[in-house]
Amino acid sequence: MKSLLSILFLALFISCSSNEDDFSMDNETEILEYIQSHNLTATKTSSGLYYVITDPGTGNKPNQNSTVTVNYIGKFTNGNTFDQGQNITFNLQNVIPGWTEGLTYFNEDGQGLLLIPSHLGYGANGSNGIPGGSVLVFNIHLLGIN
For residue 63, give the CATH number of its domain: 3.10.50.40
- Supply φ then ψ for residue 106, to 5 degrees: -100, 140
Q: Is residue 120 part of a domain?
A: yes
* Percent of the chain predicted with pLDDT > 90: 83
Is residue 36 included in any domain, yes or no? yes
pTM of the predicted model as reported, rounded to 2 decimal places: 0.84
> Tens of pLDDT along 36-80?
999 999 999 999 999 999 999 999 999 999 999 999 999 999 999
**H helix intervals, 22-140:** 24-37, 97-102
Flag whether 8 is in a domain. Answer: no
- Would the CA dihedral through 38, 44, 49, 54 be positive or negative? negative
Has residue 1 been placed in a domain?
A: no
Q: Which of 137, 143, 145, 144 is nearest to 32 (CA)?
A: 137
C-alpha 62/C-alpha 142 separation (Å) is 10
Structural domain containing residue 89: 23-145
- Domain tally, the chain: 1
**Cα angle: 24, vertex 29, 30; to 5 degrees:** 95
**Residue 16 located in a structural domain:** no
